[in-house]
Structures are given as structure tokens and as C-alpha cells.
Amino acid sequence: MNWQNKSDKELSERIGQFIRQTRINQKRKQEEVANTAGISRSTLSLLERGESVSLSTLLQVLRVLDALYVLDSFQAEEEISPIEYARLSKKERKRIR
């Protein structure tokens, strides 16, 4: 799937579909998931329809649905800049006299 060509609305709807399908697969009602996430049922409904909700709301719902694994794609390796690497290497080198 070419995500780059999708509008923000289409992406939000895709996320909403994922949330809804995950909830349904777990045989959970909107009210239960919303209460456990600490949000209103109408906010969960907005999320499932692809409407605008806060990032923290999305994270709360993913946590309740035990679906935080979707964040695995966001893992970033910490890289050392070439300048920092040179600085660290210089500290490690000691001259023997």
C-alpha cells in the first residue's frame, strides 16, 4: 500500500477501521473499551469513524486493546553523528610515551 498517496482523512479512517476491527475481534463493546480507556463512548466512536481525536486518546485505546504492537514500526535506532563519533574516538585514544 502506498501510504504517501493517502490523504490525512483516509489515513485516519484506516486507523479507525483497525481500532474497530480489533475491538470487534475481541468481542468487546464500545462502552467497555471506552470506560477502560477513560474516554467517552462517543470519543471512541469518533476514533473508529476516522474523526479527529488526540494522540493520547489513540494510545489509551491501543493500550486497552493490547494493540500497542503497532508502534513497533516507530522504533528508531539511535545514531551517533560523525562529529560525536570523532569526539568519542579522540577521548579513547591515548598516546603512549
* Domains defined for the chain, CATH in brackets: 3-71 (1.10.260.40)
Q: Which of 60, 65, 55 lies closest to 18 in space, CA to CA?
A: 65
User: With contact defined as beta carbons under 8 Å apart, do 21 and 49 qualify?
Assistant: no
Please tell me the pTM assigned to this model: 0.76
Q: Which of 42, 41, 34 lies closest to 60 in space, CA to CA?
A: 34
Helix pair 41-48, 30-37: axis angle to 10 deg: 110
**DSSP structure string for 50-80:** T----HHHHHHHHHHTT-GGGGGGG------
Q: What is the pLDDT of residues 52-86, one digit of tens each?
A: 999 999 999 999 999 999 999 888 777 777 787 77
